[in-house]
Amino acid sequence: MRILFIVDPLPGLKAYKDSSVAMMRALSARGHEISVALQGDLFIEGGAVLARTEPVQLLADADLHGQDWWRALGAPAVIALSDFGAVVMRKDPPFDMEYVYSTHLLDFAQAAGARVFNQGAAIRNHPEKLSITEFSNFTAPTLVTRDMARLRAFHAEHGDVVVKPLDGMGGMGIFRVARQDPNLGAILETLTDNGTRSIMAQRYIPEIVKGDKRILIIDGEPVPYALARIPLAGESRGNLAAGGRGVAQPLSPRDLEIAQAIGPVLASRGLLLVGLDVIGDYVTEINVTSPTCFVEITEQTGFDVAARFAQALEAAVQRQHGAA
């Protein structure tokens, strides 16, 4: 099967820990042909969704800390997305208007017969922070607004809160605001752009000191291990990009309860791969664009997450092919 990955430029990927690279290597090892394209390579012409694609070879014994882990196989070619066995959307955020347009192109391609994972409409309809509000029985008290008075009232009620932009990534723009924090006004004014941009406020979850757990759900089923991203001392963000330390651990009964409740719902909507962020007993984010942590979990536990994804992708393609 020919599989197209829509990714960021390969030379910029840290292959030794990149989940997209792990996926490509696992699929290549199973005999699939891999091509890559950038988000900007997608276009519509003559009513068809096409892309400038480049076939690549994943070198099995390569040093993944270097740059020679892949090589091009021939010249780039313009190919319709519907001509690939599967299209895997792995472009990292930011989730800006160009990303939104790309999800529409993926929708059009799917209507023409392309098999897309995660599906464009599903990505677009599940904003990664807002999506948790659908599952409020699994979330800490949460407020989404740009109204300064409501934000101040929420802070006064809960005393210790976390505020964050709705479009941030990697821990960017996240602030913990304690009860007597003199910077409350300045933080809210900055994040809301003086009341013109909605943000999220959540009651602080003290269990963050034990880690912000990434739970991967593949085709509705949770991977049996989470990666607990433990913050640096004095830090309230566990994101690896913010210096957090990743420690793999088996899912707790509460982790399983959350994953088994949310996973099948999202899978039924066209989300083959989902990353839940869980702190303590609460889900804080639902990642649908390019969930990570494959490599860390695999290296620490021996559970081959990328191989599990490859099997799920094959099965999903077969299901769609059989339904066509």
At residue 169, the pLDDT reads 75
At residue 168, the pLDDT reads 78
For residues 210-233, give the mean pLDDT. Answer: 94
Q: Give 22-49 pLDDT, tens digit per residue.
A: 999 999 999 999 999 999 999 999 999 9
Residue 232 above 90 pLDDT? no
Cα dihedral 193, 194, 197, 199 sign:
positive
Q: How confident is the model at residue 244 (pLDDT cuts 50, 70, 90)?
A: confident
210 in active site: no
At residue 171, the pLDDT reads 74
314 in active site: no
C-alpha span between 89 and 84 (Å, rounded): 13
Residue 116 belongs to what H/E stretch?
strand 116-117
Query: Considering only the top CATH level, what class is 2-121?
Result: alpha beta
At residue 125, the pLDDT reads 96
Q: CA 312 → CA 191, 218, 225, distances in Å?
A: 39, 7, 17
Q: Where in the chain is the domain with CATH 3.40.50.20?
A: 2-121
Cβ atoms < 10 Å from Cβ of 159: 12
For residues 222-240, give the mean pLDDT. Answer: 81
For residues 153-164, give the mean pLDDT. Answer: 97
Query: Considering only the top CATH level, what class is 141-204?
Result: alpha beta
At residue 95, the pLDDT reads 86
Determine the 3-state secondary structure of 222 from DSSP.
Answer: strand
Backbone φ, ψ for residue 146 (5° rounding): -115, 5
Taking alpha carbons only, the member of 163, 177, 115 closest to residue 312 is 115
Q: CA 123 → CA 40, 257, 288, 304, distances in Å?
A: 18, 23, 6, 25
150 in active site: no
Name the active-site residue from 219, 277, 296, 308: 277
For residues 164-172, give the mean pLDDT. Answer: 83
Determine the 3-state secondary structure of 36 from DSSP.
Answer: strand
203 in active site: no
At residue 320, the pLDDT reads 87
- Give the length of the chain: 324
214 in active site: yes
C-alpha span between 211 and 218 (Å, rounded): 22
277 in active site: yes
Laid out side by side, the sheet with 212-218 consists of 245-250, 221-230, 212-218, 273-279, 282-287
Name the active-site residue from 214, 239, 255, 308: 214
Q: Give 247-275 pLDDT, tens digit per residue.
A: 999 999 999 999 999 999 999 999 999 99
254 in active site: no
Name the active-site residue from 91, 124, 164, 308: 164
C-alpha span between 49 and 59 (Å, rounded): 30
Radius of gyration of the chain from its Cα atoms, rounded to whole angstroms? 20
- pTM summary value: 0.93
Q: How confident is the model at residue 234 (pLDDT cuts 50, 70, 90)?
A: low
Determine the 3-state secondary structure of 244 from DSSP.
Answer: coil
Residue 233 above 80 pLDDT? no
The CATH number, out of the four listed (3.40.50.2300, 3.40.1190.20, 3.30.470.20, 1.10.260.40), of the domain defined by the range 207-304: 3.30.470.20
Determine the 3-state secondary structure of 277 from DSSP.
Answer: strand
Name the active-site residue from 17, 115, 203, 229: 229
Name the active-site residue from 17, 91, 124, 129: 129
Q: Give 173-205 pLDDT, tens digit per residue.
A: 899 999 999 999 999 999 999 999 999 999 999
Name the active-site residue from 25, 212, 213, 287: 287
Q: Where in the chain is the domain with CATH 3.30.470.20?
A: 207-304
Q: Give 277-293 pLDDT, tens digit per residue.
A: 999 999 999 999 999 99
Residue 240 above 70 pLDDT? no
Name the active-site residue from 54, 219, 285, 296: 285
Q: Give 64-117 pLDDT, tens digit per residue.
A: 999 899 999 999 999 999 999 999 999 998 889 999 999 999 999 999 999 999
Name the active-site residue from 17, 203, 213, 237: 237
Mean per-residue pLDDT of the chain: 95
229 in active site: yes
At residue 235, the pLDDT reads 64
